[in-house]
Homo-oligomer: A and B are copies of this chain.
Amino acid sequence: MTPSTDSPPRIYTAALAIIGNEILSGRTQDANLNHLAKTLNGWGVEMREARVVPDIESEIVAAINALRARYDYVFTTGGIGPTHDDITADSIAKAFGLPLVEHPAAIALLEHYYPPGELTVVRRRMARVPEGADLIENPISKAPGFKIENVFVLAGVPSIMRAQLQGARAFIAGGRSVLSRTVSVLVGESKIAELLETAQGQFPDVDMGSYPFFKRNALGTALVLRGREEARLEAAYDVLVGALSAAGIEGHPGELPD
């Protein structure tokens, strides 16, 4: 157990740029942020911000440059296919001030994937990366992503994105995961607000959130505690459950099923 007087371990942070008009138009429901947030937390990296940006080069460049200066890792999803609206590689190259080049290993992958003679000009578009980028292997299908400095460029299709994210694992250093404990109560937020704030005051290193829900025709609240030190998290949980009990409110461990 690390005593709390030690300097705290390094915290690794990430942001996501979701690139795609189809998310902003409502055609498509994004599923990548949720998966990435959970996966990265398991790797000891904390998602701190996400942006959804349209398929406009200047918008992508501005978002990437804002995010890569601020977070340890930046992920992008979407816009790496072969069609004219796939402008992510171009935009990332521009953000870094680098030329866009064909990656020899990506060309080799494509040559292996398509029948002889079918690696068309259009398909070669998918091998373009900013000069100096590393390919991110995709252990499931063959379509690679790429990494340039701290920016990881992944596909928008969730199944491909998830495979590429596994390929990106090797490049990512993380710290300690954020652990969480949840207690659910069948009263509204205003009934627990004061005791929750008191508990939060006692445990400034444990983030306490309160999330109202309607389940089983009842109003309730999930109290979610998040922190990196297990002993502190457990102590905070016990204090909170004790305070609920003292107030005559029954706490149910975990999230209530729907």
Contacts and interface: CB of A to CB of B under 8 A. Distances in A.
A69 to B, nearest CB: 14
A23 to B, nearest CB: 7
Q: Looking at chain A's contact residues, is the secondary structure mostly helix, strand, loop, or mixed?
A: mixed
A212 B84 contact: no
Contacts of A47: 24-26
Contact of A52 (B49, B54, B180, B194): B49
A190 B82 contact: yes
Contacts of A213: 157
A24 B86 CA distance: 26
Contact of A123 (B29, B59, B190, B210): B190
A86 B25 CA distance: 29
Interface of A: 21-31, 33-38, 41, 47-55, 59, 81-86, 120, 122-123, 125-126, 157, 159, 178, 180, 189-190, 192-194, 196-197, 200, 207-214, 224, 226
